[in-house]
Amino acid sequence: MGMTMTQKILARAAGVERCRPGELLMCKLDLVLGNDITAPVAINEFAKMGAKRVFDPAKIALIPDHFVPNKDIKSATMAKQMRDFARAQGIVHYYEVGRVGIEHALLPEQGLVAPGEVIIGADSHTCTYGAVGAFSTGVGSTDMAVGMATGECWFKVPQAIRVVLTGKPRGYVSGKDVILHLIGEIGVDGALYQSLEFTGDGVAHLDMDSRLTIANMAIEAGAKNGIFPVDGVARAYLAERVHREYAVFEPDPDAKYERTVTIDLSALELTVALPHLPENTRPAKDCRDMKIDQVVIGSCTNGRISDMRMAAKILRGRKVADGVRCIVIPGTQQVVKDCLAEGLVDVFIDAGAIFTMPTCGPCLGGFCGVLADGERAVSTTNRNFVGRMGHTGSEVILAGPAVAAASAVLGRVATPEEVL
pLDDT range class, residue 93, cuts 50, 70, 90 = very high
CATH code of 270-418, in short, is: 3.30.499.10
Right CATH number for 5-264 from 3.30.499.10, 3.40.50.300, 3.20.20.140, 3.30.70.100? 3.30.499.10
Query: What pLDDT does residue 55 have?
Result: 97
Residues of the chain with CATH 3.30.499.10: 5-264, 270-418
Q: Which of 66, 143, 61 is nearest to 108 (CA)?
A: 61
Q: At residue 1, does pLDDT exceed 80?
A: no
Average pLDDT over residues 134-148: 96
The whole-angstrom separation of Cα 227 and Cα 204 is: 14
Residues 6+ apart with CB under 8 A from 240: none
The whole-angstrom separation of Cα 271 and Cα 167 is: 17
Which percentage of the chain shows pLDDT scores above 70? Answer: 100
The whole-angstrom separation of Cα 138 and Cα 132 is: 16
Residues 6+ apart with CB under 8 A from 146: 45, 49, 152, 153
Residue pLDDT, tens place only, 201-254: 999 999 999 999 999 999 999 999 999 999 999 999 999 999 999 999 999 999
Residue pLDDT, tens place only, 310-358: 999 999 999 999 999 999 999 999 999 999 999 999 999 999 999 999 9
CB contact burial 117-146 (16+ within 10 A = b; e otherwise): bbbbbbbbbbbbbbbbbbbbbbbebbbbbb
Average pLDDT over residues 28-55: 96
Residue pLDDT, tens place only, 50-63: 999 999 999 999 99
* Cα dihedral 259, 263, 269, 272 sign: positive
Query: What pLDDT does residue 150 have?
Result: 97
For 109, the 3-state DSSP assignment is helix
What angle do helix axes 208-216 and 175-186 make, rounded to 10 degrees?
Answer: 30
